[in-house]
Amino acid sequence: MSATHAVVGLAGHDLAIPLAAIAEVLAWPSGFSAAPDPVAASLGLMDLRGEALEVLEPRRLLGLEGAPPPAAGRRVAVLRGRAGRLGIAVDALRGTRRLDPARLQARRAGPGAPPPRVVGLLRDGDRLTHLLDVEALLDLPGVAAIAEARREAGAARVADRRFVLLRAGGFRFALDAAAALRHEPAPALRPTGFRSEVYIGAVDHRGGAAPVVDLARLLDLPPHIHAPERLLLVRLGGATVGLMVHEVLGLRAVPADRIAPFPGHAVSPTGVADAILRLPGDGEQDAPLLLDAGRLAALPLLRSLARLHDGLALDAGAANDRAGGGRASFLAVEAGGALHVPLLALSQVLPADTPFAGTALPRTGMLGQVALREAWLPLYDLTWLLTGRLGEAGPDQRLLVADLPGGRVALRVERLTGIEHLAPDGPPRPAAGSLLAGQPVRRGGTSAMLDLLDLPALAGRLAA
């Protein structure tokens, strides 16, 4: 009784395979990953919708001569048998044909012909076609154990993951493509007045503004001779952030087994890269470092810049005040003089024209109350608190919403001068009777002392 067969090309022969024994025929994959304990005929594992499928080279199994053709025209036939599913590489797909296995002829294997125990010869009119006995093939020594071992291993997953490859500060990185929104040449950034070596401005995005940071400086990488030339807009932790990078190298699908644990390169102590991608042709030193989007989003500076208001908004929810490279972030302001405020002690920065209710108490420096999220916060002039005189009025004034030990308050300052990321060189040194403390830091390889707003002392003054 005739049945439909798929006819494939293999080593110059037409090979018929019962269609019922073929699960599907696949395009040639972009690559194979190494199989555990492979047989000699194994080409490796390919991804079949997330399942690891071992692919065999039937030339080796059947003793056929000749080199395989270029990969572009080859196919993978997925066979199903009693032992499970396996893929075999074929040279071409010829089509389908109805054949009657009853016409199978016994024969001896000649030079260069498939072995008769696995492949028989079938006459179809004037044509001779080799017929593959799938079960006999799968029962060959070593082959039957493959499907069994894979099934016992729980059908290992090797689904490809998609990554955006990029270059920043002389290093190659990879970021999960799901986090990437778009990339473009470096745009004109919105001036915010809060620029720093890491936070370099804002970019318009869907009617709002997204903060833009220099990725190499954020990760505290060695200086690079060229400035970043591409903006990669990403979604991190629910917020949109722009990363300035030197180059976007493209999108790459990578099997899961090509993702290896981070080998300990001394690149950055930020802890946001804990794996590498082992790509074909790359040495270990050249392997892209995989950025963990979750850890990147958790960096305090990025959490601080996550929600923009007047070019800058801050989130005081971080557990520490570290920026990349073990540094602390400080907002530099002027209020009767230059001073610094711990960045993560602030929850928001409001523009100068923010309305407030004037219930001034001149002798306390209180200007009134400002409404914020349906709550009223006391508003103080920080210059008056520090010097006894009101601060210089003008469009550069800003209101800092600060979380003090006694509660949240708003502090008016004369202007913001930037954000600095410095390595503390010890704890703050409070001064008796002063609202400023000395904060030893390392700046450019040398020791320096910042005038730091002493938040506990300020809370005590306002509660008195």
Distance CA(121)–CA(104), nearest Å, equals 6
Residue 36: the pLDDT is: 61
Specify the length of the chain in residues.
464
Placement of tokens 């039937």 in the chain: 58
Instruction: Tell me which fold the domain 327-463 belongs to.
Output: OB fold (Dihydrolipoamide Acetyltransferase, E2P) (2.40.50)
Fold (CATH) for 160-301: OB fold (Dihydrolipoamide Acetyltransferase, E2P) (2.40.50)
Sign of CA dihedral 281, 284, 287, 293: positive
Q: Do domains 3-152 and 160-301 have the same CATH topology?
A: yes
* Non-local CB neighbours of 304 within 8 Å, separated by 6+ positions: 314, 315, 318, 329, 343, 344
Look up the pTM and report it.
0.44
**CA pair distance 78, 89, nearest whole angstrom:** 9
What pLDDT, on the 0 to 100 scale, is given for residue 411? 93
Q: Which CATH superfamily is domain 3-152 in?
A: CheA-289, Domain 4 (2.40.50.180)
- Identify whether the C-beta of residue 104 lies closer than 8 Å to the C-beta of residue 8: no
Q: Is the dihedral of CA 316, 318, 323, 328 positive or negative?
A: positive
pLDDT number for residue 359: 66
CB 425 within 8 A of CB 447: yes
Q: In the chain, what are the domain boundaries?
A: 3-152, 160-301, 327-463
Report d(CA 192, CA 346) in Å as an integer.
Answer: 17
> What residues contact residue 209 under an 8 Å CB cut-off, 6+ apart?
190, 202, 203, 308, 311
CA quadruple 287, 293, 296, 298: dihedral positive or negative?
negative
* Torsional sign, CA 381, 386, 391, 392: negative
Q: What is the pLDDT along the chain (464 residues), one digit of tens a residue?
A: 677 888 888 888 888 888 888 888 888 887 777 666 666 778 888 776 556 778 888 887 777 777 888 877 788 888 877 666 788 899 988 888 887 777 666 544 444 455 545 667 766 666 677 888 887 777 776 676 665 555 554 444 445 788 999 999 888 999 988 888 888 898 888 665 556 678 887 787 776 678 888 998 888 887 778 889 899 999 887 778 899 999 999 888 888 778 876 654 444 444 677 678 888 777 656 788 888 887 788 776 676 565 433 334 333 333 334 444 456 778 888 999 999 998 878 877 777 777 877 765 666 788 888 887 667 889 999 999 999 888 888 878 888 888 888 888 999 999 887 777 778 888 899 988 899 999 998 876 788 899 999 999 999 988 87
Q: Could you read off the pLDDT of 110-142 as tens digits, one per residue?
A: 444 555 456 677 666 666 778 888 877 777 766
Please give the pLDDT value at position 339. Answer: 93
pLDDT the model gives residue 313: 38
Cβ(183)–Cβ(232) below 8 Å: yes
